[in-house]
A and B are shown apart, each in its own frame.
Chain A
Amino acid sequence: MSRFEYAPAPESRSIVKLQPSYGLFINGEFVDGAGSFKTISPASEEVLAEVAEASTADVDRAVKAARRAYEDVWGSMPGRERAKYLFRIARIIAERSRELAVLESLNNGKPIKESRDVDVPLAAAHFFYYAGWADKLPYAGFGADPRPLGVAGQVIPWNFPLLMLAWKIAPALAAGNTVVLKPAETTPLTALLFAEICQQAELPPGVVNIVTGAGETGAAVVNHPDVDKVAFTGSTEVGRIIARAVAGTNKKITLELGGKAANIVFDDAAIDQAVEGIVNGIFFNQGHVCCAGSRLLVQESVADQLLESLKRRMATLRVGDPLDKNTDVGAINSAEQLTRIKALAEIGSAEGAERWSPACELPDRGFWFAPTIFTGVSQAHRIAREEIFGPVLSVLTFRTPGEAVEKANNTPYGLSAGIWSEKGSRILAIADQLRAGVVWANTFNKFDPTSPFGGYKESGYGREGGRHGLEAYLAG
C-alpha cells in the first residue's frame, strides 16, 4: 500500500500586508531612520521589506520621546489606567494573532504551528498578566510605594521576536516605565506590527518606541545616558559587554543569556514522554532557544533503547516550509547562524563524536539544517560545552544520580535543566541540586507569564515573568 503522504497545507500569506519599507516607531509615529537595511525570509531568502536603521541620533530621539512620555503621562498615570491600555494590547494581539503568527514565521523561519500555538498566544497572555499588575504594585512585595525607574532600554533576540518583546515591554509598562526597544536585526517585522497595535490601542505617544537596526543601534540604546534600565536577552558574549558598559552607572540591569541545558533521563523514566521531551527540548524552534535541552544525559543502562526510540521519533520530524501547518522544524534564522551551526557540527565530528540525522530533504533555497544528534560525546567536547543554538543534540551518558548532577552542573551556564524519572523523591532531590533557573521535570520548554524565567551563573541575572519579573522595573 502507498504511504500516508501529507499534502502541502500552507497557511495563507494573504493575511499579512507587507509594506515595501518600514520606519522607526518614535513618539507614536513611524519616522525615517538614518539608514536602512533589507529583511528577508530565511526560508526562501526572499526580501520582505526595507527597514529603517536607527543611528545614535535616532536612538536619542526615541529616548527623549520616552522620557517625555514618562514624565508627562505614563509615569504619573494611575495604575488602573495603565492596566487598561495593557489589556487592550493583549486583546489586539489576540485579535490579530493569525496575522502576527504568519508574519513571525515569514520573518523568523519558525514553523507556523509554533508561532500560532506558542509565540503569539503567550505574548498576548504576557500582556494580559502584567496588565493586572499595573494597579496592584504595592502588593507585589517590593515596598509599599514602589516607583518606576523611568526609561527602559531593551534589546531582544531573533529567536522569539514577538514573545521576547512581550516579556520586555509588558512588565516595564505595567510598572510605569516607558521603553525604547530594539528588535533583532534579522527579525524586525512583528515588532513593527506591534507598533501599529500600540497605535490601535491609542497608547500615548512615546510610551513605546521601536528602533530597528543592528548591533550599533543596540549599543546606542544600552549606552544612552538617559536610560535608567537596561534589559537584554541574547548571547552571553554580548551580555558581558553590556554588563561592562553599564558598570559604574545607575542603570539597573537584567540579562537573560545563553545556556547549555542538561536534559537528564533516568532509567525509570516514562520513556515515550521522555523522547517527546528530548525532541521538544532541542528541536523546538530549530533549537534556537536559550534554554534548549542541548545536552542529553541519559543513564547508561537505558541509553541504547532510548536512542533507538529517539531516532525513530526524529525520522517523523517534518522539516521544511515554515508556513506549512505540518512543519515541525523550520528554517535556520540566518546565514550567519547556519554557518555557526555547521562549524560546530563539523567540530563535533572532528572531535570523534558520532553524528546522525534522519533522512530528510532540505529545500534548495534558504537556510536549513537537518535535526542532528551526536552520540559518544564527552564533557571535554566543544559540542558539549558551547551553545550551538541550533537543532543539534549532544548525547552523553551517566551511571549514577551523582554523576548526572555533576555533569549537568559542569558548565558556566545555568539557565535550565530537565529531569525525567517516575520517582518523585529523586526528582525533587535532583531539582534541588541542579544549578539552573528553570528545572523542567517530566516536561520541557514550558513557559507561562506567571512563571519566573532566568538563569544562574553566566546565563545572566534577573527574572522575567511572574511577580519576580516586576522587580527589574521598579525602584527598590
Chain B
Amino acid sequence: MTATISPLSEVTRSDAALRTFLHGLPGVDRVGADARAAGLGTRSIKTTAKAWAIDLAIRMVDLTTLEGADTPGKVRALCAKARQPDPGDPTCPPVAAICVYPSMVPTAAAALRGSGIHLASVATAFPSGQAPLKVKLDDTRAAVAAGADEIDMVISRGAFLAGRYLEVFEEIVAIKEACGSAHLKVILETGELVTYDNVRRASWLAMLAGGDFIKTSTGKVAPAATLPVTLIMLEAVRDFLDTTGRKVGVKPAGGIRTTKDAIKYLVMVNEIAGDGWLDPDWFRFGASTLLNDLLMQRTKLATGHYSGPDYFTLD
C-alpha cells in the first residue's frame, strides 16, 4: 500500500501544502468535545449488553508491559495470561495482542506461537522518539525480524510542535516501509500535543502517512488516554474513511483501568465511528490492569456475585 492516498496525495507534496491542509481541518471546540464525551459516558450499559461489551473489550486488549524491569519470565507469564485470561473459565476469550519492548519480542514470539495472538512491539526510541531516524528504523526492523507483527511507533512530538509536519510525515512513511507486512500503530502522545486541534491534525498526519492505527499515548506521559481525545481520534478515522476510502484503527492506551471506563470507550466507538470499528481489528485498548477488572466483572455477571482480586491471576 502506498503511503499517501490518492484524493489527498497533493497535500503532502510540500511542508507548506501539508501545513495548509492540516490547518484547514475544522477546529475542535474543547468544551463542546469534553461535553460530548461526558454525555456518552452517561450511557447505562446493563445485563446482556454489558456481557457482550466485556467480552469484546477483552478481545480488544493489547496486554502490555513496558518496564525497564521486564524480564523473559515476566513476559512469558504475560503471554500465558493473554492466551487464557481466566483459567477457570474456558469461555473467556483471549486478548488481541501482547505489547512489549523490542528486546522482549523473541521471548514473546516463542510464548505466543500458534495462539493467533498478535505480537506488538514498541519501537522508534520509545517513548520519547528522540533518536536519529536511522536508529528508529533499525529499532523497527529488528522488532519485525524478531517476530513482531505490529509496531507501535511514536511520532516526533518536538518536530510536530515546531511545525515541521513534513518531517513527521516522512518519518512515519519511512517507518511504515520498514514495517513491511507488520501493522503500524502511530502513537501521537496526545498528552504532549495538549490541544484537541493538535490531536486532530496529528491524527490526519499519521493517517496520511499510512499508519494502520492511531494510538493516543505511550503510557509514560500524563494525561494518557482520555475519552475526549479518543473522541477526536474516532472522528478523524471516521472522516478519513469518508474522504479516502481507507479505514484506520484507534487505540487508546494508558489510564484505562476499569470495566466501566472500557465500556464508555466502546459506547463512544459505537456512536462516533460506528459499529464497523467495534472489532479488535479496528479498536484496541493498550492496558495491563484493565484485563483483571474485566475478568472480575465478567464473573460477577455470570455468577451474580462480586469477585475479588485473589481469584484472578496477577502477572
Q: Which residues of A contact B (CB under 8 A)?
A: 1-9, 113, 117, 268-273, 276-277, 316, 325-326, 422, 442-443
Distance of A268 Cα from B53 Cα, bound (Å) = 37
Q: Which of B18-46 contact A (CB under 8 A)?
A: 26-29, 31-33, 35-36, 42-46
For B26, the chain A residues whose CB sits under 8 A away are 268-272, 422
Is B52 in contact with A4, judged by CB distance below 8 angstroms? yes
Provided the pairs A268-B27, A273-B29 are in contact, do residues A4 and B266 lie with their beta carbons within 8 angstroms? yes
- Dominant secondary structure of chain B at its interface with chain A: helix
Is B28 in contact with A272, judged by CB distance below 8 angstroms? yes
Query: Nearest 5 pairs between A and B by C-beta?
Result: A273-B32, A9-B44, A325-B44, A7-B49, A273-B29
Chain B minimum-CB-distance residue to A279: B36
Provided the pairs A273-B33, A276-B36 are in contact, do residues A4 and B275 lie with their beta carbons within 8 angstroms? yes
Smallest CB separation, A277 vs chain B (Å): 7
Is A273 in contact with B45, judged by CB distance below 8 angstroms? no
Q: Which of B45, B235, B267, B271 contacts A7 (CB 8 A)?
A: B45
Distance of A276 Cα from B270 Cα, bound (Å) = 16
Q: Which of A7, A8, A443 contacts B32 (CB 8 A)?
A: A443
Distance of A6 Cα from B267 Cα, bound (Å) = 9
Distance of A3 Cα from B279 Cα, bound (Å) = 11
Whether, in the assembled complex, B47 has its beta carbon less than 8 Å from a beta carbon of chain A, the answer is: yes
Is A2 in contact with B32, judged by CB distance below 8 angstroms? no
The contact sample of 19 A-B pairs, CB cut-off 8 A, is: A1-B275, A1-B278, A1-B279, A3-B275, A3-B278, A4-B267, A5-B49, A8-B46, A9-B46, A268-B27, A269-B27, A270-B28, A270-B32, A272-B36, A272-B235, A276-B32, A325-B44, A326-B43, A326-B44
Whether, in the assembled complex, B9 has its beta carbon less than 8 Å from a beta carbon of chain A, the answer is: no
Whether, in the assembled complex, B48 has its beta carbon less than 8 Å from a beta carbon of chain A, the answer is: yes
Whether, in the assembled complex, B246 has its beta carbon less than 8 Å from a beta carbon of chain A, the answer is: no
For A268, the chain B residues whose CB sits under 8 A away are 26-27
For B36, the chain A residues whose CB sits under 8 A away are 272-273, 276
Chain A minimum-CB-distance residue to B231: A272
Is A325 in contact with B278, judged by CB distance below 8 angstroms? no
Is A270 in contact with B46, judged by CB distance below 8 angstroms? no
Contact with A along B137-180 (1 / 0, CB 8 A): 00000000000000000000000000000000000000000000
Chain B minimum-CB-distance residue to A316: B271
Smallest CB separation, B231 vs chain A (Å): 8
Q: Which of B32, B33, B46, B49 contacts A4 (CB 8 A)?
A: B49
Distance of A268 Cα from B32 Cα, bound (Å) = 16
For B257, the chain A residues whose CB sits under 8 A away are none
Smallest CB separation, A445 vs chain B (Å): 11
Q: A276-B36, A443-B32 are in contact. List 9 more A-B contacts (CB 8 A).
A: A1-B278, A7-B45, A7-B47, A272-B36, A272-B235, A273-B29, A273-B32, A273-B36, A325-B44
Smallest CB separation, A394 vs chain B (Å): 23
Is A272 in contact with B52, judged by CB distance below 8 angstroms? no
For B28, the chain A residues whose CB sits under 8 A away are 270, 272-273
Provided the pairs A270-B32, A277-B32 are in contact, do residues A7 and B48 lie with their beta carbons within 8 angstroms? yes
Smallest CB separation, B34 vs chain A (Å): 10
Smallest CB separation, A424 vs chain B (Å): 12
Q: Which of A9, A272, A325 contacts B33 (CB 8 A)?
A: A272
Most A CB contacts (10 A, CB to CB) among B31, B44, B45, B235 go to B44
For B52, the chain A residues whose CB sits under 8 A away are 2, 4-5
Distance of A273 Cα from B37 Cα, bound (Å) = 11
Is A9 in contact with B29, judged by CB distance below 8 angstroms? no
For B31, the chain A residues whose CB sits under 8 A away are 442-443
Is B42 in contact with A442, judged by CB distance below 8 angstroms? no
Chain A minimum-CB-distance residue to B49: A7
Q: Which of B44-94 contact A (CB under 8 A)?
A: 44-50, 52-53
Distance of A273 Cα from B28 Cα, bound (Å) = 7
Most B CB contacts (10 A, CB to CB) among A113, A273, A325 go to A273
Distance of A30 Cα from B279 Cα, bound (Å) = 58
Chain A minimum-CB-distance residue to B24: A268
Chain A minimum-CB-distance residue to B48: A7
For A3, the chain B residues whose CB sits under 8 A away are 275, 278
Distance of A276 Cα from B28 Cα, bound (Å) = 12
Distance of A263 Cα from B43 Cα, bound (Å) = 27
Q: Which of B248-271 contact A (CB under 8 A)?
A: 266-267, 270-271
Chain A minimum-CB-distance residue to B45: A6
